[in-house]
Amino acid sequence: MSNQIKTVLLLGSLTALIILFGNALGGRQGMYFAFFFAVLMNFGSYWFSDKIVLKLYRAEEASPQDFSWLYSIVSKLSQTAGIPQPRIFIILSDSPNAFATGRNPEHAVIAVTTGIMRILNRDELEGVIAHELGHVRNRDILISSIAATMAGAIMMIGNMVRWAAMFGGFSRSNDDEGGGGIAGLIALAILAPIAALLIQLAISRSREYLADSTGASFAGTPQGLANALEKLDYASKRIPLASNPATAHMFIVNPLSGRSFLTLFSTHPPIEERIKRLREMRW
């Protein structure tokens, strides 16, 4: 199954969870309010994501004079990808990593750390830049925002139900309406947010695989990215990036990978599997 189809199915699952939760709750107004509030929160994140994350990591725009070779790589790959050339930012950090952000290809930004430029050769760095351009071309910031909106609405509805239950917000009539009654609703309020989070993370992992394959097509070979991921896996564990967990999904390798993560609760697929898939690509 392609990663595009997986994304559609996973987003459909989030939609189904919202509808199921709304029906179980009985009052659609609460569901609509939570969804509207989640839209507002994530709209701001989507619209200003580039400014927020660049400020968070104190990234500075790269000088075309000092980083002419980097501009050359980005320019060539952008033309291949058929998208406007993104702005380029540098993060002063020994931890090797990179990310792309921006609400659409016309407002895209690519940021790389000084650490990644030091340990990768040109072919490997081209593979990394191509991967990030894959995120831009595939509009992954928009897709992540949609998934976050849906998951956020489910979590808010769950919180509303749990607080209502704690303070006696449900009458006995709710328990007589069938469908599990109050106990079933409270169980759903606990389990649905966990399911929503797992689906959101699965979408993130699926988009990483897609960006890998898209980036390999832009670079003309999967080998540069595969070799880069090998180096990044080792180096990022030795020198982890001081990062905010809320932005971990944006980076090419999980900046928190030096800590213990269960696969289901990871924003990124296992690097070994990503490298395996890249090296098995027919070119």
Higher pLDDT pick, 266 / 260: 266
**The pTM is what?**
0.80
The type of residue at 280 is: E
pLDDT at res. 26: 55
- Residues 251-262: what's their mean pLDDT? 70
Whether 145 has a pLDDT exceeding 50, the answer reads yes
Domain membership flag for residue 92 = yes
- Residues 33-48: what's their mean pLDDT? 67
Query: Is residue 167 very low, low, confident or very high in pLDDT (cuts 50, 70, 90)?
Result: low
Spatial distance between the Cα atoms of 53 and 89, rounded to a whole number of angstroms: 11
Query: Is residue 161 very low, low, confident or very high in pLDDT (cuts 50, 70, 90)?
Result: confident
Dihedral sign (CA 229, 221, 84, 10): negative
The type of residue at 65 is: Q
Domain membership flag for residue 172 = no
Nearest to 79 by CA among 142, 4, 137: 137
240, 255 Cβ separation under 8 angstroms: yes
- Residues 94-105: what's their mean pLDDT? 92
pLDDT at res. 108: 94
Domain membership flag for residue 93 = yes
Spatial distance between the Cα atoms of 253 and 132, rounded to a whole number of angstroms: 11
Higher pLDDT pick, 199 / 219: 219
Judging by beta carbons within 10 Å of its beta carbon (0-12, 13-18, 19+), is residue 261 exposed, middle or buried? middle
The type of residue at 173 is: S
Domain membership flag for residue 141 = yes
Query: Is residue 178 very low, low, confident or very high in pLDDT (cuts 50, 70, 90)?
Result: very low
Whether 281 has a pLDDT exceeding 70, the answer reads yes
pLDDT at res. 82: 97
pLDDT at res. 34: 61
3, 207 Cβ separation under 8 angstroms: yes
Higher pLDDT pick, 8 / 3: 8
- Residues 152-162: what's their mean pLDDT? 74
Whether 92 has a pLDDT exceeding 60, the answer reads yes
Domain membership flag for residue 190 = yes
Whether 121 has a pLDDT exceeding 50, the answer reads yes
Whether 158 has a pLDDT exceeding 90, the answer reads no
Whether 132 is catalytic is yes
Higher pLDDT pick, 178 / 198: 198
Domain membership flag for residue 127 = yes
Query: Is residue 177 very low, low, confident or very high in pLDDT (cuts 50, 70, 90)?
Result: very low
Please pick, among 60, 61, 126, 132, the residue that the annotation labels catalytic: 132
Q: How many structural domains compose the chain?
A: 1
* Residue 147 lies in domain: 3-167+179-280
Domain membership flag for residue 173 = no
